[in-house]
């Protein structure tokens, strides 16, 4: 049975049920023949009151003009499906994080984001709600086993953590799975129970195994400190879960690592005159303040001016080691080119916190750099 929902860019769905009595139709057909496969052509999760009555469910999304060939290949077994859900499928609309009119579409022009940090699959974990299908869930025509989890022990709060796990195809045909690693912060961080830290797709022949490697970057252990206005860590034990879906039943491997210290809120500020004159120079100062209980090693401060402007560091840089609560100040001479028209220009201060070796623009260092900006008005 092929069923579908209706969506447009300009109208929200009134609920998550299939329209036009399709749920009743599926129930009637499944009563006559339990060996029924339902193919969903939907753009978002739908409720499935008939899920336990049918033999199979294929979420095809909106597959496009070659959908007939693609779905036939999956249903006939010519192609292993291997897809995993990019969102949670709830049992009912009342289970979702934003299920009230006050949360969506809002009342009197105000939307209440009352779920806080428990967005998406995090909500179900935090509230103990069992969804119909969890985030990351997916089946194959073969089966897989996870084993041999190993979690490295970081020596400092700015070290990455390496996670390895082995995936084995325990079935009789080639298939693919999506291995997933989740990270659980210490309770004091106030974060959701688990958050996705990495995933990899693997295709294996029958009986074959593969060892997969994941890297948890320091930035993935940070949480926002509202009082300090910056990102910070919590010292303590972090839990590591590995498997192939967000639900605990899909995460058979458990491990942990301990951060001996923690990096507190790191704040970057910039001081520069509000007014500047074309053809003249002025001084700007960039400040980095470290918090927490860990020492920052190899941090660097730089100043990025508008194109064509000159910038030169005039004072010492950040000390090789910046201890908790300490601040570093770096001064720069900024020269505004002659002939620049009167306008507002933005100076960007960048702090490379030294938590990885690739520099602030490196993909491996994503989230490690901190920035601040200020506007300087140029007069002729």
Contact residues for 353 (Cβ-Cβ < 8 A; gap 6+): 158, 263, 266, 296, 299, 368, 369, 370
Q: How far apart are CA 133 and CA 223, in angstroms?
A: 28
Say what the pLDDT of residue 34 is. 93
Contact residues for 123 (Cβ-Cβ < 8 A; gap 6+): 96, 97, 115, 129
Q: How far apart are CA 276 and CA 373, in angstroms?
A: 16
Helices within the chain (DSSP H only): 22-32, 67-76, 121-127
Token match 């560091």: residue? 313
Say whether pLDDT at 335 is over 90: yes
User: For 219, which DSSP code?
Assistant: G
Say whether pLDDT at 63 is over 60: yes
Say what the pLDDT of residue 359 is. 42
Say whether pLDDT at 27 is over 90: yes
User: How long a stretch of residues is the chain?
Assistant: 380
Say whether pLDDT at 310 is over 50: yes
What are the pLDDT digits (tens) for 136-155? 999 999 999 999 999 999 98
Banded pLDDT at 354 (limits 50, 70, 90): low
Banded pLDDT at 345 (limits 50, 70, 90): confident
Residue 359, phi-psi category: left (phi > 0), alpha (psi -120 to 50), beta (remainder):
left
Q: Tell me the two tokens of residue 53.
A: 């009555």
Average pLDDT score over the chain: 89
Say whether pLDDT at 247 is over 80: yes
Say what the pLDDT of residue 260 is. 78
Say what the pLDDT of residue 358 is. 41
What are the pLDDT digits (tens) for 251-268? 999 999 998 777 666 678
Say what the pLDDT of residue 126 is. 95
Say what the pLDDT of residue 228 is. 65
Say what the pLDDT of residue 136 is. 97
Say what the pLDDT of residue 360 is. 40
Range among 128-142, 216-230, 290-304, 307-321 with highest mean pLDDT value: 128-142
Say whether pLDDT at 366 is over 70: no
Say what the pLDDT of residue 223 is. 85
State the CB neighbour count (10 A cutoff) for residue 183: 22
Domains and CATH numbers, the chain: 2-127 (3.40.50.1700), 144-259 (2.60.40.10), 267-379 (2.60.40.10)
Own/partner contacts of 312-315, CB < 8 Å, gap of 24 or more, are 314/283
Say whether pLDDT at 361 is over 80: no
Say what the pLDDT of residue 367 is. 42
Banded pLDDT at 277 (limits 50, 70, 90): very high
């Amino acid at each position: 049975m092929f069923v579908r929902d209706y969506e447009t860019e300009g109208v929200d769905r009134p609920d998550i049920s299939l329209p036009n009595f399709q749920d009743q139709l599926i129930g009637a057909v499944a009563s006559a023949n339990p060996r029924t496969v339902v193919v969903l052509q939907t753009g978002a999760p739908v409720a499935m009151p008939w899920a336990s009555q049918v033999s199979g469910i294929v979420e095809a999304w909106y597959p496009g003009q070659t959908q007939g060939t693609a779905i036939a290949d999956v249903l006939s077994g010519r192609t292993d499906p291997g897809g995993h859900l990019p969102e949670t499928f709830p049992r009912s609309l009342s289970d979702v994080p934003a299920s009230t009119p006050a949360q969506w579409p809002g009342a009197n022009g105000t939307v209440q984001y009352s779920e806080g940090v428990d967005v998406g699959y995090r909500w179900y974990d935090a509230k103990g709600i069992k969804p119909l299908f969890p985030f990351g869930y997916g089946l194959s025509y073969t089966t897989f086993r996870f084993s041999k989890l190993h979690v490295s022990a970081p020596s400092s709060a700015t070290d990455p953590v390496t996670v390895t796990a082995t995936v084995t195809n325990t079935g009789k045909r080639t298939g693919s799975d999506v291995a997933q690693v989740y990270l659980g912060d210490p309770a004091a961080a106030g974060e959701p129970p688990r958050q996705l830290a990495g995933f990899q797709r693997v295709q294996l022949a029958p009986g074959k195994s593969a060892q997969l490697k994941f890297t948890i970057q320091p930035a993935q252990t940070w949480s926002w400190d509202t009082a300090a206005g910056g990102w910070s860590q919590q010292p303590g034990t972090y839990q590591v879960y590995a498997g192939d879906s967000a639900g605990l039943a899909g995460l058979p491997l458990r491990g942990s690592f301990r951060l001996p210290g923690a990096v507190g809120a790191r704040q970057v500020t910039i001081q520069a005159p509000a007014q500047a004159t074309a053809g003249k120079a002025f001084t700007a100062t960039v400040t980095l303040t470290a918090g927490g209980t860990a020492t920052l090693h190899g941090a660097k401060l730089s100043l990025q001016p508008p194109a064509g402007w000159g910038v030169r560091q005039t004072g010492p840089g950040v000390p090789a080691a910046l201890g908790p609560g300490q601040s570093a100040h770096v001064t720069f001479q900024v020269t505004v080119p002659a002939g620049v028209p009167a306008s507002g220009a933005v100076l960007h201060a960048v702090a490379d916190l030294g938590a990885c070796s690739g520099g602030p623009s490196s993909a491996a260092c994503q989230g490690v750099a901190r920035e601040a900006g200020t506007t300087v008005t140029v007069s002729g």
